[in-house]
Copies of this chain bind each other. A is one copy, B any other.
Amino acid sequence: MTSIRIPAAADFHVHLRDGTMMETVVPTIRQGGASLAYVMPNLVPPISSVQQALDYHSRLQALDPSVTFLMTLYLSPEITPEVIAEAAATGKIAGVKSYPKGVTTNSDAGVVDYASFYPVFAAMEEHDLVLNLHGECPSNSTTSLLNDAETFQPATSSTTTILNAEESFLPTLLDLHSRFPKLRIVLEHCTTAAAIAAVKQCGPTVAATITAHHLYLTIDNVAGNPHCFCKPVAKLPSDRAALMAAATSGDPKFFLGTDSAPHPKNKKIGTANAAAGVFTQPYAVSYIATAFDRVGKMDAVRAFVAEFGRAFYKTVEKGWESAEDVTKDAIELKKEPGVKVVDEFGQGEGVVVPFMAGETVWSVTWL
Report which A residues bind B (CB closer than 8 A). 139-141, 143-146, 150-155, 159, 161-163, 216-227, 229, 233, 236-238, 240-241, 244, 269-276, 290-291, 294-295, 353, 356-357, 359-361
Instruction: Return the chain B residue nearest A237 by Cβ.
Output: B155
**B residues less than 8 Å from A290 (CB atoms):** 146
Q: Is the CB of A272 within 8 A of B161?
A: no
Which single member of B219, B273, B291 contacts A219 (CB below 8 Å)? B219
Q: Is the CB of A227 within 8 A of B272?
A: yes
Q: Do A163 and B219 form a contact, CB below 8 Å, given A274-B224, A356-B146?
A: yes
Q: Do A161 and B225 form a contact, CB below 8 Å, given A145-B217, A270-B269?
A: no
Q: Do A236 and B151 form a contact, CB below 8 Å, given A224-B273, A272-B226, A359-B144?
A: no
In angstroms, how far is the closest chain B Cβ from the Cβ of A328? 33
**B residues less than 8 Å from A152 (CB atoms):** 244, 291, 294-295
**B residues less than 8 Å from A154 (CB atoms):** 241
**B residues less than 8 Å from A161 (CB atoms):** 218-220, 236-237
Copies in the complex: 2
**B residues less than 8 Å from A162 (CB atoms):** 219-220, 223
**B residues less than 8 Å from A144 (CB atoms):** 359
Instruction: Return the chain B residue nearest A296 by Cβ.
Output: B152
- C-alpha spacing A219/B139, complex, angstroms: 11
Q: Is the CB of A356 within 8 A of B223?
A: no
Which single member of B225, B236, B294 contacts A273 (CB below 8 Å)? B225
Instruction: Return the chain B residue nearest A276 by Cβ.
Output: B224
- C-alpha spacing A237/B153, complex, angstroms: 9
Instruction: Return the chain B residue nearest A146 by Cβ.
Output: B359
In angstroms, how far is the closest chain B Cβ from the Cβ of A326? 27
- Which of A238, A275, A276 has the largest count of B CB atoms less than 10 A from its CB? A238
- Which of A141, A143, A145 has the largest count of B CB atoms less than 10 A from its CB? A145
In angstroms, how far is the closest chain B Cβ from the Cβ of A262? 16
